[in-house]
Amino acid sequence: MGDPTPVEGSALEAGPTPAGRTSPQPSSPPSGNGGAVRPAGASGSELPWPAWTAPVALIGGLVLAALGGLVVDIPALALGVSISASHTPPGLVIADTFVQDVAFVLAAVYCARLGGRVVRAWQLGLRPPAIGWRSAAKSVFLLLLAFVVFSALWTAAFHPSKEKLLEQLGSNEGTGLLVLSAGLTCVVAPICEEILFRGFIFTALRSWRGTLPAALITGVLFGAVHAGSAPALDLVPLAALGVGLCLLYRRTGSLYPCFVAHALNNSVAFAALENWNIGEAALLIAGALAGVWAVVQLAKRAGLITPERALVGPGA
């Protein structure tokens, strides 16, 4: 989403539908099992996830999301909730989309563990930027600036239709749905989608043909997976954003800057589609960044995100 006049190309990525390199651990021989994924740009011996696990993770995530949606929808139908091909109650859309986002993370983690690999959160990019936060912040700014320019040019040339996602989520039907919609699109979706697409898929594909082809393929997949929630003409800018996020991960070695960039884009888009003023948009941006920070801190306290083990030996 964009400024007060919505930029259609910067669409939200929350609709219904991790880049690293590997290096042997001190206690593990350089084999496929137990290989630890180092951050993008790290040097040393490589033990990446096989490229074939990338499509497996994506398909698995979509299948798991569909099954999870049934777990939500069937009880709702049994309770008398009216669901049709043309209309799903906003509360159910929010629940289904949340389940789908969680399914993306579960699929990435499961595929990262295939072959008996030991997986830690930092291997999926959940670690501080290797280049420092100041340089990472500059990279985030440049990425979003380039994306805004591209989106504006794309919109001027092709005039895509206005996005309907917020209407589906019911953001205009009450404060509760508005808050849930904002939390879903500006906090949950950026975290979950980055873990799957940049943290896992991009990493696995890099082992196949290198950074640029992996970024292009991941970007196309990232755009395509939003075909059910964004106008068709918006899928190209979304794919471009996906490529940019891959390169951001490659440069910083961390998913955290990708979380920030993704959350900022979605927050600006959300505010634009809601026709909010600058003050309201700033409040949403602050809330989204605080939400992302809070989720990361909770994951650390729960032991889901742990510090990277020290690596020793050649290339460490």
Q: For residue 43, is it within any domain? A: yes
Q: What is the pLDDT along the chain (316 residues), one digit of tens a residue?
A: 433 333 333 445 444 443 333 333 333 333 333 333 344 444 333 457 999 999 999 999 999 999 999 999 999 989 888 887 777 888 898 999 999 999 999 999 999 999 778 888 999 999 999 999 999 999 999 999 999 999 999 999 998 888 877 878 887 788 999 999 999 999 999 999 999 999 999 999 998 889 999 999 999 999 999 987 888 899 999 999 999 999 999 999 999 999 999 999 999 999 998 999 999 999 999 999 999 999 999 999 999 998 875 433 333 3
309: left (phi over 0), alpha (psi -120 to 50) or beta: beta
pLDDT on residue 7: 36
Q: For residue 316, is it within any domain? A: no
Do 22 and 34 contact (CB within 8 A), yes or no? no
Q: For residue 99, is it within any domain? A: yes
Nearest Cα to 160, choosing from 170, 168, 169, 150?
150
Q: For residue 6, is it within any domain? A: no
**pTM of the shown model:** 0.83
pLDDT on residue 218: 98
Q: For residue 196, is it within any domain? A: yes
Q: For residue 15, is it within any domain? A: no
44: left (phi over 0), alpha (psi -120 to 50) or beta: left
Q: Could you count the other beta carbons within 10 Å of the beta carbon of residue 208?
A: 14
Task: Enter the tokens of residue 185.
Answer: 């699109």
Q: Residue 222: which domain range?
A: 20-301
Residue with tokens 């084999």: 31
> For the chain, how many structural domains are there in total?
1
pLDDT on residue 87: 79
Q: For residue 11, is it within any domain? A: no
Do 259 and 191 contact (CB within 8 A), yes or no? yes
